[in-house]
Amino acid sequence: MLILLPPSEGKTAAVRGKSLELTDLSFPELTSARTQVLEALVELSAAPEAADVLGVPATQPELLERNQRLGSAATSRADRVYSGVLYDALGLTDLSPAGKRRASSRLAITSALFGLVRPGDRIPAYRLSGDARLPGLPGSGSVAGHWRAHLGPVITDAVGRGLLVDLRSTSYAAFWRPTGVRTATVRVLHEVAGRRQVVSHFNKATKGRLVRALLEDGADPRTPQALAAAWERLGWTVELDTDPSGGGRLDVVVSEI
């Protein structure tokens, strides 16, 4: 099983640690593609238009300065750099030893800068969204388009004969559309008085809890049906809609925030 997570837009910068070594990251076949994005981002971040292109508020110029120093900045484990609602609920750093071992082999995080990383990969904090365009990037400059050209074989190989649990948000789902692998997508619905809706904050937190529960439990489902059964056994309400390819969408219905 491979659980594909989105990154967090907010990131925690390392205070100390060795500088970035792209060749040390998981999925080394992405090194060349990562280099292209890194160089384009560093170049843009020093340009006058950088704040507008990257969506950096005028009150946070340090984010651009951080981007300019990506090659020499201190790094930390990805599971400490990525922060925010989903990662707080997932709580990777305080999993049990068995849960941490499963996380290291079953989780991968989609990244606008690095394409795909594992929780233990050492990366610097950076500012780059999945829907950004970098003028110095080959082709149209689209970050999503760049990764669409590289991620498919890497993710397919990582999934193997297992199940891909795709928890990416919309902008990062554009990096690669699952083909040739059995895939389960997950949607969290908040139900109140018979009415259901998707609530962004709650959606992220619940997905973090769902992943944490799987990692601690140890279940390794190979079909959407088995995944739904595992979460139901762990106390969640799950509705499954399958498709002819063997994949499916799981709606996890919750009533309390």
1-40: per-residue pLDDT in tens? 999 999 998 899 998 999 999 999 999 999 999 999 999 9
pLDDT(64) > 90: yes
Quote the DSSP letter at residue 28: G
Confidence (pLDDT) at 131: 94
Beta-carbon contacts of residue 200 (< 8 Å; ≥ 6 apart): none
Confidence (pLDDT) at 18: 95
* Contact between residue 144 and residue 174 where contact means Cβ atoms under 8 Å apart: yes
pLDDT digits (tens, 9 = 90+) for 183-234: 999 999 887 767 777 766 778 999 999 999 999 999 999 999 999 999 999 9
d(CA 7, CA 181) in angstroms, rounded, equals 22
d(CA 11, CA 82) in angstroms, rounded, equals 5
